[in-house]
Amino acid sequence: MANSELKRRRRGLTISKRLPKAENGDIELLLIQSVDHLGKQGDVVHVKAGYANNFLMPQGLATIATPHHKRMVEKHKAKLQDIQRSRLAGLQAQADALSHQSITIEANANDEGHLYGSVGSSEIIRALKAQDITITSDQVKLRGPLKELGLYTVNIHLGQEIEAELKVWVVPTVRDEEATPPPVKTEPTAG
């Protein structure tokens, strides 16, 4: 061994191996994680040697694209595609169920049908939860709060470009005096 190499090893420095170059002189790497403006996880990318040596590999974002790594990624991608297909089928089934669903929300309103408050996504989520359907507030796409009595069609974005249209009935709140009929007065009978 050369004297300079022994000094490097004593200090903990190792001589880095040269990375295999692609046909165009760039380094061929397999992305371990998605990198903005470069590619998604599992993509094989061609980058300059400095970018590979100084950023991607030290940060653990990429590794050398060996034939073995490429085969492993292809197997993994096939599994992910199967999972994605089943997830999309589940979302589509949920969208179909929501499209055939309608909910009723009671709200305080005046005689003209204008609500004293408004109905928003939280009330819609509560009404759906009462029917054992769980969605989040960012999935409810309202064009604005519902401020009048009536029937509305609300878009529910379930993800992956799958949307459902939910029928929402906004009805006036039934007051206690309206809910129970007034007592019937009866005349005492003589007898």
CATH of the domain at 155: 3.10.430.100
Residue 187 located in a structural domain: no
Residues contacting 1, CB < 8 A, separation 6+:
none
Query: Given 46, 67, 88, which residue is the final one in a domain?
Result: 67
- Of 182 and 28, which is predicted with more confidence? 28
Q: What is the pLDDT of residue 72?
A: 86
| Per-residue pLDDT, 16 | 46
Contact call for residues 30 and 57 (beta carbons, < 8 A):
no
- Do residues 63 and 32 lie in contact, with contact meaning Cβ atoms separated by under 8 Å? yes
Task: Give the residue numbers spanning the domain of 104.
Answer: 98-174
Per the structure, the count of domains in the chain is 2
* Residue 94 parent element (H or E): helix 67-99
Q: Any idea what the CATH number is for the domain that residue 33 is in?
A: 3.40.5.10
On whether residue 38 sits in a domain, the answer given is yes
**pTM for this predicted structure:** 0.55
pLDDT tens digits, residue range 63-117? 888 888 888 888 888 888 888 899 899 999 999 999 998 999 999 999 999 999 9
* The pLDDT value given to residue 78: 85
DSSP 139: G
Backbone angles phi, psi at 24, to 5 degrees: -90, 5
Tokens matching residue 113 = 């049908």
Half-sphere exposure of 28 (CA within 13 A, CB side): 12
